[in-house]
Structure 1
Amino acid sequence: MLLPSILLNFMFPPPSSLFVTTMSVIGIFSLTNAGYTEIKGKHLRYSKFVNEGVAKKKDEMKLSSRTGMLVFYTPSFLVGLSSFLVFRDQDLRSVLLASALTVHFFKRVLEVLFLHKYSGSMALESTIIITSSYTFSTATMLYAQHLSRHFPTPSIDLKYVGVGLFVIGIIGNFYHHLILANLRKEGEKEYKIPQGGLFDLVICPHYLFEIFGYVGISCISQTLYAFAFTLGTVVYLTGRSYATREWYVSKFGDKFPKDVKALVPYVF
């Protein structure tokens, strides 16, 4: 078959692991579904969407936004860090992948602790869903890479391209998170329309650069699972950025610039 043979130029053969195969299907389905539900107005309830899209539950458990976001990222950071001890016979590609995932989530933890400003709470249900997604996807990506270590390297080696995309993604994401953090002065909690950087063109440039980062990670890995998870992430962040733009339009009305897109400058 022509298509699979072409794909094998870019990725390792899928390992004969029921766990990895199942996680690939679950990952892409759940993230794609999450992106679709974001567009339809049913949001994972964190950040500005904590009171949007669903009816309030009187007995719903909530966490502070800071605690919830710390819970999001810490387990995945620890999974990435511990992989250096668990998989001691890693090749360069595996080391690069583990390093990228560890740096990605360590950056997130540092941003939660020292950069982001918070104005509310988040639903415990959303916290569990997001934390589980990050943790299991990180562990599965590292495990799939470990299983692929004895396969022939794809004829088109993308790992250094992946490192470049990852660096661009993590720097761009941090820069736009910094802009968001500086929007509010000390003690302020109201939302403002972001300006500066790519915020003049799209309302979610931090998501755009997060996509760059995950594309970079999948290019470093070149496993089917990594590409599948990245595809699901792209779909989810596309839906999330669309919902974010709709939220800003509903909140600020004519004050929101009509030429500012959701995710991709001049396009979407």
Structure 2
Amino acid sequence: MQEQTFIFGLSVLMLGTGVVAFLSLTVLRAPYGRYSSKQWGPRIPARLAWFVMESPTLVWTLLCLQIREDAGLAWANWLLLAMFSGHYVNRAIAYPLLLRGGKAMPVLVCALAWTFCVVNGYLQARSICSFDEYAEGWTRDPRFLLGSALWAAGLLINVQSDGILRNLRKPGETGYKIPRGGMFEYISGAHYFGEILEWIGFAMASWRLRAAAFAFFTACNIGPRAYHHHLWYKEKFPETCPKRRRALIPFVV
């Protein structure tokens, strides 16, 4: 019971941290990727940074499966764990391996992201493996079905958008281009939209505060980045940037 109270406290803290992140990142551009700067201290290669900062989630998943008290998990728990860890298999392993170039990332940014993944990895994996109990028919509940569909759609958009960005430059080319295709026809932050949609779906399928807090923090963290990307494209490509394209939500903002 004490650990469950601790998990509840972490969930509330994540909600509060999300508000702080949103207010900060609306004004300040997170210094990685195209905004990477030596002014933020030592930097490490992008591939290594992505692996280091995203992998704690996978470690927690494996650890929580080993230390769980019950002999087995319900189907709903297995499916939710697969949604959660599946994203990070892509982000910690596949994404760095497929990454072409990529600017070095400040150690500070990597350390902050690593810390978040350590906390959130524990929060989600421990809850799913040891504390979350679902009714036998939960996997047929409309909330689980709709949430799973949103998660799958978000993952597809995320992976497709990453592929479009990865293939923007031909071998030997440098510089930036306007991404086209997929959700980039409607928004500048298609990959961010996909990731936010993933975790909204995960939160709906989980129907737990800790998952909702994660989705909220994700939106607060990368939503402003989509806005900055949108302004950057409009400033750098004033003539060719699609006029009707929005920053993060198609036809809205």
TM over 0.5: yes
Q: Is the Cα–Cα contact under 8 Å of residues 81 and 102 in structure 1 kept in the other structure?
A: no
- In the alignment, which of 170, 177, 182 is matched to residue 197 of structure 1? 182
Helix, strand or coil at the partner of 1:158: helix
Q: Distance in 1 between matches of 2:5 and 2:154?
A: 32
- The Cα RMSD (Å) is 2.6
Structure 2 counterpart of 1:226, one-letter code: A
User: Does structure 2 retain, via aligned residues, the 8 Å contact 1:83–1:98?
Assistant: no
Measured after TM superposition, the shift of residue 153 of structure 1 is 8.7
SS of match in other structure, 2:251: coil
Give the letter for the 1:119 counterpart: G
Deviation by residue 1:43-79 (Cα, 9 ceiling, x = unmatched):
322111213xxx825xx22111111111122221222
Query: What per-residue deviation string (whole Å, max 9, x for no partner) do you get for residues 93-137 of structure 1?
Result: 221121111111001133333322223211111101112112311
Secondary structure class of the residue paired with 2:237 = helix
Determine if the alignment matches structure 1 residue 147 to structure 2 residue 131.
Answer: yes
Look up the equivalent residue of 1:147 and give its one-letter code: F
CA distance in 1, matches of 2:17, 2:174: 32
Question: For residues 73-222 of structure 1, what are the structure 2 equivalents within 5 Å?
Answer: 73-87=54-68, 88-145=71-128, 146-149=130-133, 158-222=143-207
Structure holding more helix per residue: 2
- State the number of aligned residues: 249
Equivalent residue for 2:33? 47
Question: Is 1:24 paired with 2:11?
Answer: yes
For 2:46, the aligned partner's letter is S
> TM-score, structure 2 length as denominator?
0.88
Query: Structure 1: any 5+ residue segments left out of the alignment?
Result: 1-13
* Contact kept? 2:77, 2:132, Cα under 8 Å: no
- Asked if 2 retains the 8 angstrom alpha-carbon contact of 1:72 and 1:127, the reply is yes
Separation (CA, whole Å) in 1 of partners of 2:110 and 2:215: 21
User: How much identity, in percent, do the aligned residues show?
Assistant: 23
Aligned counterpart, 2:220? 235
**Which 10-residue stretch deviates more, 176-185 or 157-166?**
157-166
1:114–1:18 Cα change, 3 Å: same
Maintained 8 Å contact 1:203/1:241: yes
Deviation at 1:15, TM superposition (A): 8.6
Alpha carbons 1:202, 1:260 under 8 Å: kept: yes
Structure 2 residue ranges without an equivalent (≥5): none
Alpha-carbon contact 2:18-2:217 (below 8 Å) kept: yes
